């Protein structure tokens, strides 16, 4: 069996799929990003969690080359986005917050146009489109106009369109906003299936359940700064697994406990239920505010 000295660094780590260093973006006197340092590992689902205005979409716009930073570095798959945006974008699929399908094109036509814009040969784009329509459960809607699709179907089409040219990294900006709970769950299943195919996913969200369900790691943003980062359950365990909300004197205070038995003692005294702690509790503890859209 091979052994390693204590100072042996072992095999080199794979370069970050997405990286920022000291990223700053100012809009006049407003600092939308305030020194953001981020490193997303290849093959993980990483989530930006925070309310609107926290800096999530600004970070994505910089990483996709749509906005230039005021200061700092942004790199995708090792390519500096500001220096060589074409090389960086070659690795990316991007799904914006707002559905941007042409209402007068069919699903198949939307995919065909995307393939042409990415320089894909006709046989390849047709083959890939058929695969993705089957993958997303949309084969029977290939000839449907975008305007006839439900909100959940439109979102699935925008995601598979972004995957047509087989990017290594997928950016999803508020992917489930406006969807009903059933459509949101179907979308989560699709994102997980995409990840199992080896795609690195960076998503922004203000849905606590979405971040906890999908993400290997989350970064919690507030006023352009990363105030917490890690695996969702590990971050929650910093507070305690269980919570009791106690109302009184015009405000509700939350107490956290490591075990349910400890929480039940206070719950019985306060006539309040015991619940599981979540990422919003952590955000509230750090900022004094809730995560709200």
Average pLDDT of the residues in 55-66: 93
Render pLDDT for 253-281 as a digit per residue (tens, 0 to 9). 899 999 999 999 999 999 999 999 998 88
pLDDT for the residue 188: 92
Give the H or E element holding residue 23: strand 18-27
Domain ranges in the chain are 235-287
Report the pLDDT value the prediction gives residue 230, as an integer from 0 to 100.
95
Comparing CA positions, the residue from 98, 201, 108 lying closest to residue 161 is 108
What is the predicted pLDDT for the residue at 285?
84
Report whether 203 contacts 48 (CB < 8 A).
yes
Residue 254's closest CA among 231, 232, 235, 270? 270
Structure confidence at residue 65 (pLDDT): 92
243 bridge partner residues: 256, 275
Q: What is the mean pLDDT of residues 212-222?
A: 93
Burial of 140 (0-12, 13-18, 19+ CB in 10 A): exposed
Reported pTM: 0.85
Residue with tokens 């996709």: 64
Q: Residues 11-45: pLDDT tens digits?
A: 444 579 999 999 999 999 999 999 999 999 999 99
In the chain, which ranges are continuous DSSP H helix? Answer: 56-63, 85-89, 107-117, 122-135, 151-163, 181-196, 208-214, 232-237, 260-270, 279-287
Asked if 225 contacts 35 with a C-beta cutoff of 8 angstroms, the reply is yes
Measured CA to CA, the distance from residue 59 to residue 36 in angstroms comes to 9
Mean pLDDT of the chain: 89
Alpha-carbon distance 109 to 38, whole Å?
37
Average pLDDT over residues 85-98: 90
Backbone conformation region of residue 35, classed left if phi is above 0, alpha if psi is from -120 to 50, else beta: left
Local confidence band at 3 (pLDDT 50, 70, 90 cut-offs): very low
> Comparing 93-107, 227-241, 277-291, which segment has the lowest mean pLDDT?
277-291
Q: For residue 220, what are the CA distances in angstroms to 116, 212, 242, 282? A: 37, 12, 20, 9
Angle between helices 107-117 and 151-163 (to 10 degrees): 30
Question: Which whole number is the average pLDDT over 46-62?
Answer: 90
Q: What is the pLDDT of residue 14?
A: 59
pLDDT at 2 over 70: no
pLDDT greater at residue 239 or residue 286: 239
Q: What is the mean pLDDT of residues 188-202?
A: 93
DSSP-H helix ranges across 12-55:
none
In whole angstroms, give the CA distance from residue 45 to residue 195.
7
What whole-number distance in Å separates Cα of residue 288 and Cα of residue 293? 16
- Quote the tokens at residue 119: 């320089």
pLDDT confidence band for 50 (50 / 70 / 90): confident
d(CA 178, CA 223): 24
Nearest CA among 242, 238, 265 for reference residue 254? 242
pLDDT value at 7 more than 70: no
Tell me what pLDDT residue 293 has: 53
């Amino acid at each position: 069996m091979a052994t390693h000295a204590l100072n042996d660094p072992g095999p080199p780590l794979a370069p970050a799929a997405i990286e920022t260093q000291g990223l700053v973006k100012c809009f006049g006197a407003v600092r939308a990003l305030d020194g953001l340092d981020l490193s997303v590992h290849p093959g993980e689902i990483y989530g930006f969690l925070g309310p609107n205005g926290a800096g999530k979409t600004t970070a994505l716009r910089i990483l996709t080359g749509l906005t230039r930073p005021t200061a700092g570095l942004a790199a995708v798959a090792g390519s500096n986005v500001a220096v060589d945006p074409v090389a960086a974008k070659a690795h990316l699929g991007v799904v914006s917050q707002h559905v941007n399908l042409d209402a007068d094109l069919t699903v198949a036509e939307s995919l065909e146009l995307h393939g042409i814009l990415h320089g894909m040969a006709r046989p390849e784009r047709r083959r890939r489109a058929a695969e993705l329509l089957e993958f997303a459960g949309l084969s029977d809607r290939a000839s449907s106009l975008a305007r006839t699709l439900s909100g959940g179907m439109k979102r699935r089409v925008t995601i598979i369109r972004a995957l047509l040219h087989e990017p290594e990294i997928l950016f999803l900006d508020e992917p489930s906003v406006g969807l009903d709970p059933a459509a949101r769950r179907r979308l989560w299943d699709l994102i997980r299936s995409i990840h199992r195919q080896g795609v690195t996913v960076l998503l922004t969200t203000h849905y606590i359940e979405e971040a906890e369900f999908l993400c290997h790691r989350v970064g919690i943003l507030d006023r352009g700064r990363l105030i917490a980062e890690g695996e969702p359950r590990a971050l929650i365990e910093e507070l305690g697994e269980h919570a009791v909300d106690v109302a009184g004197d015009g405000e509700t205070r939350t107490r956290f406990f490591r075990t349910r038995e400890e929480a039940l003692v206070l719950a019985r005294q306060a006539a309040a239920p015991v619940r599981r702690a979540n990422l919003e509790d952590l955000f509230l503890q750090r900022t004094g505010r809730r995560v709200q859209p």
